[in-house]
Amino acid sequence: MKQKDFRKLGCTECSTGCDLGFDFTMAFQPIINSQTKTVFAQEALVRGLNQEGAFHVFQNVNDTNRYRFDQSCRVKAIKLAAKLNIHQHSFLSINFLPNAVYKPELCIRTTLNAAEEYHFPKEKIIFEFTENEQITDSSHLESIIQHYQQQGFLTATDDFGSGFNGLNQLADLKTDITKIDMALIKNIDQDKKRQIIVRNLVNLFNELNMLVVVEGVETKAEYHTLQEMGLHLFQGYYFARPSFESLAEINWD
């Protein structure tokens, strides 16, 4: 990507799509705390303007517009989260594309400006990076995470166990939160191998002083099995599906 693509972007420009040639919005899916019966965070998920899924939106993203798209995602998430008063009750979790970040200290400016403009406290923002995007420069990702933490943001590893170099990244990166991928969770109540793997992962994360979120919980049996392992931060269709430009009602059963 050429240097000129990393020009400063304003919040108003990003909230209207940064001249991407397409526009999009956000849905929100809660991460719940089963111990306190509260919402720990709301994850912002990209959606088309007519409620199309993330795959539809990402078909428009390429190497030329990846940076502008990433900046626009942040601003749109913060703007809508502020409108919904998410910061009054929980964190806002935003996915970011590590390969779109040129220099952390420069690329974070739009986020900080958006937080200030929309009166959203930066300490209530979590940045998630996904293991499904291959990272060719782990030291660069490490510098991104360190800079975000220094700025007062929380950081999270998304989809742990499904992507590239999971254990290597766990050794190198010091995120505050790790989200266990749904592939390890599906039918865990019936699968002794998955139970052993997840139980040992939880012990590992606890020793590393990381919060653990379990993704993709879809059944009551999965939920109760995971609770018995001492887990209490959950996300998945069992509790609530993503809600388009709004906050979902939650199943607390």
pLDDT band of 87, cuts 50, 70, 90: very high
- Stretch 51-56: mean pLDDT: 95
Q: Is residue 133 pLDDT above 90, yes or no? A: no
Q: Helix, strand or coil for residue 12?
A: helix
Instruction: Please provide the DSSP assignment of 175-198 as one string.
Output: -SEEEE-GGGTTTGGG-HHHHHHH
- Stretch 77-102: mean pLDDT: 91
pLDDT for 31-49, tens place per residue? 999 999 999 999 999 999 9
Q: Indicate the range of 44-53, 67-76, 238-247 predicted with least confidence.
A: 67-76
- Confidence (pLDDT) at 164: 54
- Confidence (pLDDT) at 175: 92
120 φ, ψ to 5°? -110, 115
Say how far apart CA 32 and CA 45 lie, in whole Å: 16
- Confidence (pLDDT) at 4: 41
Helix H or strand E encompassing 26: strand 25-33
- Confidence (pLDDT) at 17: 52
- Confidence (pLDDT) at 3: 41
- Stretch 120-130: mean pLDDT: 92
Pick the CATH number of 3-244 from 3.20.20.450, 3.40.50.620, 3.30.1330.30, 2.40.160.40: 3.20.20.450
- Confidence (pLDDT) at 106: 74
Q: How far is CA 64 from CA 70, 130, 133, 230, in A?
A: 12, 20, 17, 44
pLDDT for 3-36, tens place per residue? 444 455 555 554 555 578 899 999 999 999 999 9
Q: Is residue 2 pLDDT above 50, yes or no? A: no
Ranges of each domain in the chain = 3-244
